[in-house]
Chain A
């Protein structure tokens, strides 16, 4: 990257070489040489290595880590996950109990309420297909990873 091939003009190439020589000299702490072009760029490089920055607070890392610990959703999330699992288990248990108590009567009654397969027109099938595709599409959009 530090070559001068990107510059068409000879003077620009020379200037880029002087700039990069100054960078290398400042990084290595070399003694001042005789090239005044490089020397001027070394003065600029020196200033750029010491910009007037506001000081970083000494306890910054501790504070940020503490804030992350406070705001971390992991504790709440794990409670939610366990609550969700408990509800699903309860639902399955209740379903099993209902089957046991009613001995399949309820299922047979439910099947009577479904429309006959022959009665399902193309329009109904198309409407349900679109609705299902829309649901899947919306869920997929929400499941996409977010940018940091």
Chain B
């Protein structure tokens, strides 16, 4: 989405009708509205700028080709996100890159220590070394988890919509969010010590 307000179902419907009618500039508007979402999903999945560009283009070519199949029961954002996710997933499958780590029975809270003292958020936030370490930990997550976290935190996509995009159950998305964030907190504490 651009900097303007996110499109709603009605504006989506009008935009889709304009694209299907071949209105000049309508498809470019659609791409502008959803290019950020598409880019974020694919870039988080494949992490390669050239592949991201190619796959993003492929996504919008597919969107254009199959737009007549779009039914406005779900937001256009979810529908396009679904196409982007499946394009990126197929790319990773072709390259035999695992999308998600196998479900492990480990307790994500086993690394987390209970904090008794205060934690200076602004001081920690200004610590570039700590920030870099945190990003390193995020990058080490599997593609699916990275994408789910980005959709939820950066794109502010609600859990049911993420479930629709990825084709997973909402409970699974919630579990991924919980486990990843708990694990990141455990790693963060290991770097800074339990108290800061």
Contact = CB atoms under 8 A, between A and B. Distances in A.
Nearest to A54: B49
B28 A48 contact: no
Contacts of B63: 148
Contacts, number: 135
A61 interface: yes
Contacts of B39: 53, 56, 60
A17 B181 CA distance: 12
Contacts of B65: 148
B40 interface: yes
Given A37-B115, A43-B134, A148-B65, A48 B154 contact: yes
Interface stretch (B10-18, B53-61, B95-103): B53-61
A26 B10 CA distance: 30
Contacts of B129: none
B69 A148 contact: yes
Interface stretch (A65-73, A84-92, A106-114, A115-123): A65-73
Contacts of B138: 47-48, 51
Given A47-B134, A53-B40, A148-B63, A16 B178 contact: yes
A44 B181 contact: yes
A34 B44 contact: no
Contact of B158 (A1, A39, A71): A1
A100 B79 CA distance: 57
Q: Of residues A41, A42, A44, A60, which shows the largest number of chain B Cβ atoms within 10 Å of its Cβ?
A: A44
Contact of A12 (B53, B130, B178): B178
A72 B26 CA distance: 14
A103 to B, nearest CB: 48
A9 B28 CA distance: 49
B76 interface: no
A51 B154 contact: yes
Nearest to A34: B118
Given A12-B109, A53-B39, A148-B66, A61 B32 contact: yes
B172 to A, nearest CB: 11
The 5 closest A-B pairs by CB, nearest first: A148-B66, A48-B153, A65-B28, A36-B119, A54-B49
15 contacts: A1-B160, A1-B174, A11-B109, A15-B109, A34-B118, A36-B118, A39-B121, A39-B124, A40-B119, A40-B189, A43-B121, A45-B153, A52-B135, A60-B53, A61-B31
